[in-house]
Amino acid sequence: MPKFERMDRRPRRNRKSGNIRALVQETKVNTDDLIFPLFLLEKPTGKIEVNSMPGIFRLGIEPLLKEIEECLTLGIHTFDVFPVVEEHHKNTHATKSWDPQFFYLKALKEIKRTFPEACIMTDVAMDPYSSDGHDGLVKDGKILNDESLEILGKMALAQAETGIDILGPSDMMDGRVGYLRDMLDSNGFKDVSIMSYTAKYASAFYGPFRDALDSAPKSGDKKTYQMDPANRNEALIEADLDVEEGADFLMVKPALAYLDIIRLLKDNYSLPIAAYNVSGEYAMIAAAAEKGWIDYNSAMNETLLSIKRAGADIILTYFAKKWAKQQK
């Protein structure tokens, strides 16, 4: 045993008990910071588990309202609702996305009517409604930018008319935040917020989400609009534009392979930073836990903590309800 005259610094003193560890804990996750993504089915009573996301269900409006009610009692109050659109409703121009009679828009109204205290976010992108499975309009194998904006504008307006709180443009078309802001403001929706998918990468981790919505691209990939995972400076370019164009929140997506990007935006912008802990990130933990290879709750807690520690103020996560339950 080496002999020490003295050792003034013993960092382990601050880890010696649960109480001390709680006092010195630097990062905390809070239900207030979590957004729970939900998948809405057309059939009002429907309930189908997503194969690649054990524990996550596609729900018709009836069970979905129950789910929201339960989450509200657990302290989760913000929800990002995505529609599961049946193939026969899809077409090249995603026209169902702005049809006020479409089940998704009617459901959003019903959710806001039933739970005015809940904060509802929607997704602005063509892929769930597009027969091409792309976020923008496809012509001769190319994704058209400015022509897509017109469709996204109509979609955003139709969503705003249901009374939702936050629009989430996830399409990555150039200029869409400014376009949507103008569209909202000139139609009396000055109070509708925009959470921009600022740095959205062309990622392999969206696979299970595309299973949930049956929304995978029919041909090609999303690399001409989503960002290259190799790039960092480009996130600053996108963030500058979103700030200029009027975004209220900046989002990084996915979260775990992009913790450095979360920190980059946190250090460079004063807007709140959100991170999307995406479907593939959920699936990896859920699947490994099912096999008994990893402890579900510990892995979930560590994951959410790491995203907060990286600098996210807000986390969109499929773990939201389970995390909140675990706190009770």
Check: CB of residue 231 under 8 Å from CB of residue 223.
no
Residue (52 or 162) nearer to ligand PBG, CB = 52
Q: How far is the CB of 310 from ligand PBG (least distance, A)?
A: 18
CA angle 53, 59, 61 (to 5 degrees): 160
Q: For residue 275, give both structure tokens.
A: 């991170």
Check: CB of residue 126 under 8 Å from CB of residue 218.
no
Check: CB of residue 71 under 8 Å from CB of residue 324.
yes
| CB-based burial, 13-41: b 16+ in 10 Å, e otherwise | eeeeeeeeeeeeeeeebebebbbbbbbbb
Active site residue 253: yes
Peptide bond into 100 cis (omega under 30): no
90, 222, 253, 308: the catalytic one is: 253
Residue (20 or 283) nearer to ligand PBG, CB = 283
Longest dimension (CA), the chain: 79
Residue (162 or 279) nearer to ligand PBG, CB = 279
Q: How far apart are CA 229 and CA 250, in angstroms?
A: 18
Q: How far is the CB of 306 from ligand PBG (least distance, A)?
A: 17
Residue (82 or 189) nearer to ligand PBG, CB = 82
Instruction: Give residues in contact with ligand PBG (CB under 6 A).
Output: 123, 125, 127, 135, 170-171, 206, 209-210, 278-279
Q: How far is the CB of 210 from ligand PBG (least distance, A)?
A: 6
Residue (248 or 268) nearer to ligand PBG, CB = 248
| CB-based burial, 132-169: b 16+ in 10 Å, e otherwise | bbbbbbbeeeebbbeebbebbbbbbbbbbbbebbbbbb
Q: How far is the CB of 156 from ligand PBG (least distance, A)?
A: 13
90, 96, 200, 322: the catalytic one is: 200
Q: How far is the CB of 107 from ligand PBG (least distance, A)?
A: 18
Check: CB of residue 121 under 8 Å from CB of residue 156.
no
Q: Which residues form the catalytic set?
A: 200, 253
